[in-house]
Amino acid sequence: MALKGKNILVGVTGSIAAYKAAILVRCLVKEGASVRVVMTAAAKEFITPLTMATLAKNPIYVEFFNPENGDWHSHVSLGEWADCFVIAPATANTLAKMAYGIADNLLLTTYLSARCPVMVAPAMDLDMYSHPTTGENLAKLASVGVAIVEPEEGELASGLSGKGRMAEPEYITEQISKLLDGAEKKTLNGRRFIVTAGATIEPIDPVRYITNHSTGKMGYAIAEELASRGAEVTLISGRTALPTPKGVERVDVLSAEEMYEAVKARWEGCDGGVMCAAVADYTPAEVSPVKVKKSEGDMAIRLRRTPDIAASLGAVKGDRLLIGFALETDHEEENAQGKLERKNFDLVVLNSLRDKGAGFGGDTNKVTFVTRDGMESFPLEQKSDVARRIAAFADSFFKKF
Ligand code: CTP
């Protein structure tokens, strides 16, 4: 079951069906989920906070702050904590406010700031449910990705009979589980990333250049994995033969300088960066406009330093995520730790050319994660699996409460 260990935020609004929210909370807890409850003031008229808090095993949230001690209830933190926000029962009033971005209570502000999947289970009288305005509001919510658990037909609180009765808690639980199964991978919805990949090319003259063995496979796999988890990804790519991953915006560059400019222009507004490119640390100091002719004897090319792209992002990182790579041949862990500090990375993905199957070209890699909390080594695996580990690291980085 997809609910084990998941954080489910249950929103309760003012409807007779609020009693079913208590059963829903019990079902979710039984499935191993952690549950928090946010109620509107009207909901408290239908079911007591004490009942909900006891079943959820957590205090409930109603107001923006606790009037007794001024303790602030952050709607942003609640939204970030939740893996799923399910509003059950959802009244016509709350659905209308959600559809139009009205934010006059904690439940609604939480909805507007939540990045997790959101589900509503409407409950109302049959005429309210069949009213075209309610239909339009539900269609509007569906169009922005809100999952709707349709009400059932049956006897209603008004004594009338028809469609409007909130779906049964057991059924809603199943639907949440299904939604999470599908959304399992959409953990980076709304996050913006830059990924650099491939080798840079530093021209000597119109014919020759300095480059390295990077093929871009690792960076492309990371861009693809982040995008598949819902992130908006810009891939700043050196020359490669690879196709652009699905759902990724690709910007082609050649030299380290061009890559630096492309990255710098996009870092603001990003939530994270993965620096996977093999960037030349040196470039020819002068580029000849014409082909350099050979002469007797040896020749030397004077090189100058290129900008350190990762370090420049690290210097203005703030609370963003920055991941770098270290490809080493010796003193691997020591070198990786040095890069972690110098470039202000949150994670250095270390691979060593001493490990068979690691590094350039192939479809596999063998990496060690180096963070300020320690190191963790993984077996030789597909680059797509390494990409999944890196994306999972990003997931946990953003999951704070
Ligand atoms: N990097 C970068 N810009 C550069 C050089 C490197 O963004 N001009 C990034 C790489 O993409 C990688 C990390 O920095 O994520 C490590 O690069 P590397 O060149 O191995 O590290 P350096 O600190 O330059 O150390 P050295 O070359 O001495 O190994």
Mean pLDDT, the chain cut into blocks of 10 residues (401 residues total): 88 96 97 95 96 93 76 76 95 98 95 92 95 96 92 86 93 93 78 97 97 95 94 96 94 98 96 97 97 94 98 97 95 96 97 83 91 94 92 87 40
pLDDT in tens, 242-279: 999 989 999 999 999 999 999 999 999 999 999 999 99
The Cα 152–Cα 254 span in angstroms is 59
Are both 178 and 227 inside the same structural domain? no
Does residue 1 sit within a domain? no
DSSP 58: S
Are both 230 and 153 inside the same structural domain? no
Query: Which residues surround ligand 1 with Cβ inside 6 Å?
Result: 196, 256, 275, 277, 279, 281, 306, 308-310, 324-327, 339, 343
Q: Which residues contact 169 (CB under 8 A, 6 or more apart)?
A: 20, 21, 23, 24, 26, 27, 88
**Residue 207 near residue 291 (C-beta atoms within 8 A):** yes
Does residue 212 sit within a domain? yes
- Ligand 1 mean position to 290 CA, how many Å? 30
Does residue 187 sit within a domain? no
Are both 138 and 261 inside the same structural domain? no
Q: Which residues contact 141 (CB under 8 A, 6 or more apart)?
A: 95, 98, 99, 120, 148
Are both 171 and 244 inside the same structural domain? no
Comparing CA positions, the residue from 222, 220, 257 lying closest to residue 241 is 220
Comparing CA positions, the residue from 96, 25, 83 lying closest to residue 58 is 25
Residues labelled as active-site residues = 212
Are both 199 and 137 inside the same structural domain? no
The Cα 87–Cα 105 span in angstroms is 14
User: For residue 116, how many other CB atoms are within 10 A of its CB?
Assistant: 23
Q: Which domain holds residue 14?
A: 7-182
Are both 174 and 273 inside the same structural domain? no
Mutate to test the pocket of ligand 1, among 255, 308, 328, 367 (most ligand atoms within 8 A of CB): 308
Query: What's the CATH number where 151 sits?
Result: 3.40.50.1950
Are both 85 and 151 inside the same structural domain? yes
Mutate to test the pocket of ligand 1, among 305, 309, 352, 390 (most ligand atoms within 8 A of CB): 309
Does residue 366 sit within a domain? yes
Does residue 2 sit within a domain? no
Are both 137 and 217 inside the same structural domain? no
- Token pair, residue 39, equals 């109620």
- Ligand 1 mean position to 345 CA, how many Å? 11
- Ligand 1 mean position to 46 CA, how many Å? 60
Q: Which of 130, 164, 182 is the last residue of a domain?
A: 182
Does residue 233 sit within a domain? yes
Residue 50 is inside which H or E element, if any?
Answer: helix 49-56
Q: How many domains does the chain have?
A: 2
User: For residue 145, how many other CB atoms are within 10 A of its CB?
Assistant: 11
- Token pair, residue 314, equals 């690290």
Does residue 293 sit within a domain? yes
Long-range contacts, 136-144 (Cβ 8 Å, 24+): 136/99, 137/92, 137/95, 137/96, 137/98, 137/99, 137/100, 138/95, 138/99, 140/99, 141/95, 141/98, 141/99
Are both 108 and 248 inside the same structural domain? no
Are both 126 and 207 inside the same structural domain? no
- Ligand 1 mean position to 282 CA, how many Å? 11
**Residue 119 near residue 86 (C-beta atoms within 8 A):** yes
* pLDDT reported for residue 401: 40
Q: Which of 182, 217, 242 is the last residue of a domain?
A: 182
Are both 167 and 258 inside the same structural domain? no
Does residue 343 sit within a domain? yes
Query: What's the CATH number where 320 sits?
Result: 3.40.50.10300
Are both 202 and 165 inside the same structural domain? no
pLDDT in tens, 75-101: 778 888 899 999 999 999 999 999 999
Backbone phi, psi, residue 345, to 5°: -75, 155
**Residue 316 near residue 267 (C-beta atoms within 8 A):** yes
Q: Which of 158, 182, 206 is the last residue of a domain?
A: 182
Pairing of strands 161-165, 367-371: unpaired
